[in-house]
Structure 1
Amino acid sequence: MTLVTEPKAPPRAPHPLRAEWVRGFAPWAGAAIPLTLGVTLWAKADQWQGGWSETAGQVHSAMLITLPLAAAAGCWQGGRERRRRTDELWATTVRPPLARLLTAALPVALWVAASYLLTVVLAQLATWPYAQGDHPHLALLPGDTVAMAAGALTGHVVGRAVPTRLAAPLLAMAGYVGLGIVTTVRSAPGRVLSPTTSPLTGELPVWWQPWAMALWTGGLAVAAALAYAARRRVTALLPLAAALAAGTLLAQTGDGLWRANPIARRQVCDTSTAPAVCVNARYAGMLPQVSDALSGVTDKLHGVRNLPVRWADHGGAPRADEAQLPGITPLGWSAVRGRLTDPEQFAWEAVTALEGYDCPEGPLTARERRADDAVEYYLVPTSTRKAIDEDDARGDTAQRADLRERRAARAKLAGMDERTRREWLSAYFAARADCDAKGVPAL
């Protein structure tokens, strides 16, 4: 009996896209995006880590660097065959020009888009432990991700069309300068068509803006690829028409592309004190530490009349019965990663907001200066004020005389009995609220 073995089928050749995807330049181009974007984010971590809106704005505005980088990567890949001197050899293959272009261009485009998306996810995770309210803002991701891929695809077409090794760095520099001008100059024509244009902090895009931006950038890139490599170049008219329709919609809408974040209009308040303490709902988790920072002030103001009803933080000018809460934003100054950086300074700024410094500008009288200094020193005796006093004590005759007057006024206010001091402070805050310099009680 003879055993007959069937010949084994030859191993299937790997798809050309697989080799382009796992080897060569595309993975390195993808790795450059999180490296560049990560360094940019790390350098400004204090300004975004802890605020969902700030995080979304930072990763979006960082496209000013990553988008030209993606275009340059695509451009370098597009000139690969010319550098290898194999472009004429590739032209003899049976594969059509468009297939050859997409085989080399898509891995780079997908790598840079996926790498950008991964970096954004990591930035959101870095903010999550410190966020004090609101929720993640991911609405811009579709438009941003497609723009990264479109930049790489467009750069690839440029790399094939422009016969010079300098095409990639020149394209990166031109993209950075051009996007920078359009992004930073609010009156620049076509600003709303730039994928790097950012909303203001506390604003959100309308629901269709990211999808229109994706159609605008993606349509232009696909049209460029078809116009360069398709056998029937007329097919480029379809994505071009879609891109122009999306661009027209974006341009005609203008500033209407952004809307106010509803949560930014709300406040969360601690009404157990007078004045009440209110923080913007975007940072609701910071209310306990803000209240704690102001507890020494509110304890000393117990029973004092003519005070504002609350410290408010609703993004606009305070109303007639409100005082402006010291700014939690922009992050990186008063607050970093969900914590107040200097509670003492924060309390002093809150006291100055009670003093009516929104009155018309003009020179303060000696009575006002002494009263303001005494009130601030009584409510918040900051280390900065004490350091200023030490400097004045070593100053000239005029500085030492002024220091003696300030200390005398402070001692007089601190030496009053509780009832007398409450009446004096009530009269003081009434005069300051009315911008009545003559009504400020003397010390």
Structure 2
Amino acid sequence: MSILRIELRRSAAIGAAVLALVVGVAALYLAPGRWSQGWMSLTLTTKEYLLLLWPLALAAGAWQGRREHRARVGELFDTTPRSPVRRMLPVLVAMGAAVGLAYLLVVVAGGLRIASTAAYFPPDVVAIVLVGAFSLSAAAWLGLGLGRLLPALVTAPALAVAGVLLVFFTTIMRPDWLGAVLSPAYGSNPFYPFQTIDPRVTGALAIWMGALAFTGVLLLVTRSPYARVAAVLPALLGLGAGAAIVPRDEATLIAPVDPVARELVCTDDAPTVCVTRVNANVLETLTPLAREGLAVLAKLPDAPTQVHEDRRSFALPDEMPAGNDDIITITVRIDDRGGLAHPASVVPEIVLSLGVDFTGECQRNGAVERAAAYYLLGREPVSDVGVVPGMISEDPLLNAEAVTLWRGLRELPSSEATARIAAVRAAILACRDTTGMLSR
């Protein structure tokens, strides 16, 4: 233990760990909205930042690996009775433990922010985080071996650049299963809040990283040119083993779903409001807003009586739930602090659709629907820009037409205007064109 303490104090281990911790935490807190939704979002975001952390650990290991060459004591140490493995064990433990712990502390730093708001802790998080930490240790060990093999001053920065390119291009390479084995950042691109990573992908990465770590150890402790060539064998065997267990189907690799996170959590009383389990913490805030929107739609016959979080995703084309005229779905957005984002947009978004979800199967007239919706809301139509989150532009003629139709509705008796709006909603449900239905 005293040798290990000396190694931690005099080697690059602590410096590498501090640098990894600072880079990781800074990257997280520069964009907290990417991971404020919950534990899996935090886990995937931290895993994505391995694009920076993995090359950093690789370069730190290479810098440390050339220490004996830099001090010109290699031949002296070779004459000692201690085996190379025993001599190198402290630096292996110091470097591996330091950078691995730094990764865990990055996750903890993010977890402190979301601990009070994250409603669901997926069990897969533990394995993904541990393998991420192990991948940094493996990078440091591989760097130690390469630094000992190529003890040039340029080795560490060259490996840092090569590591960034390696992680990035293996993440996006085809076939997908090969990228899943090779890249420590694979699967971290977020598509939806109930995303996960298949345990077989995590297992394959752990095998590959273990093989790279073993190759690095062999390069560090061997002196024979033949032994150094043979050190590539564990990496090849690890690649083969990882490829043998990684799934091949695209849905599991690209769009894996945690079914528990996707389950709906609903209010006990009516009107029913439901959100996915991963967003259960905002149900209390969302409920009165959603019910206000339902109350506005209740002016129409056979209006929806439930609001559900939209669980559809472009990444899940075969997972589109069957339509239900009694349910209106909305997008639930989470802010940087883990609460409900854009609460003022909830009621307009519910009413703007007139209680009919947008499926893309039928052509819809935006001006007609906007005029009808704002009549129900009791105010003049305005552009969706600034009302609907994410809307950055629209044709100004659209709102001008909606205002004209809205003014026409206001000139009608209330019962007739409501009847026309009900007819518009019925036409939308029947997939008929609504153009002209408010201008007669």
Per the shorter chain, which TM-score range? 0.7 to 0.9
Shift of 1:441: 4.4
Contact 2:43–2:129 (8 Å) recurs in 1: no
> Within 2, Cα distance between the matches of 1:69 and 1:281?
36
Identity score, percent: 25
Shift of 1:163: 3.1
1:218 aligns with 2:206: no
TM-score with structure 2 length normalisation? 0.80
The structure 1 residue matched to 2:95, chosen from 98, 108, 123, is 108
Instruction: Give the number of the structure whose alpha-carbon radius of gyration is greater.
Output: 1
What are the Cα deviations for residues 31-78 of structure 1, in whole angstroms up to 9, with x where unaligned? 111101001100111121232221111111111111111111100000
Number of the residue aligned with 1:352: 352
1:297 aligns with 2:285: no
1:262 aligns with 2:251: no
- Residues 95 and 279 from structure 1, CA distance in 2 versus in 1: closer, same or farther, beyond 3 angstroms? same
The structure 1 residue matched to 2:376, chosen from 367, 375, 378, is 378
What are the Cα deviations for residues 175-209 of structure 1, in whole angstroms up to 9, with x where unaligned? 11121112134646720112221255423344454
Contact 1:78–1:104 (8 Å) recurs in 2: no
Shift of 1:266: 1.6
TM-score with structure 1 length normalisation? 0.79
Point out where structure 2 has 5 or more consecutive residues left out of the alignment: 313-318, 387-396
Number of the residue aligned with 1:122: 109
1:326 aligns with 2:330: yes
Contact 1:50–1:132 (8 Å) recurs in 2: no
Point out where structure 1 has 5 or more consecutive residues left out of the alignment: 1-13, 389-397
Contact 2:367–2:402 (8 Å) recurs in 1: no
What are the Cα deviations for residues 147-171 of structure 1, in whole angstroms up to 9, with x where unaligned? 1111000001111111311111110
CA RMSD of aligned residues (A): 3.5
Contact 2:420–2:438 (8 Å) recurs in 1: no
Shift of 1:358: 3.4
> Within 2, Cα distance between the matches of 1:362 and 1:98?
70
Contact 1:326–1:349 (8 Å) recurs in 2: yes
The letter of the residue matching 1:299 is A
> Within 2, Cα distance between the matches of 1:308 and 1:433?
12
The letter of the residue matching 1:268 is V
Number of the residue aligned with 2:407: 408
> Within 1, Cα distance between the matches of 2:268 and 2:428?
23
What are the Cα deviations for residues 104-130 of structure 1, in whole angstroms up to 9, with x where unaligned? 333112110111112212322321112
> Within 1, Cα distance between the matches of 2:298 and 2:400?
33
- 3-state DSSP class of the match of 2:273? strand
> Within 2, Cα distance between the matches of 1:178 and 1:240?
15
1:281 aligns with 2:283: no
Contact 1:277–1:311 (8 Å) recurs in 2: yes
Which deviates more from structure 2 when the two are superposed, residues 276-285 or residues 307-316?
307-316
- Residues 386 and 126 from structure 1, CA distance in 2 versus in 1: closer, same or farther, beyond 3 angstroms? closer
> Within 2, Cα distance between the matches of 1:244 and 1:404?
63
- Residues 208 and 407 from structure 1, CA distance in 2 versus in 1: closer, same or farther, beyond 3 angstroms? closer
Contact 2:273–2:287 (8 Å) recurs in 1: yes
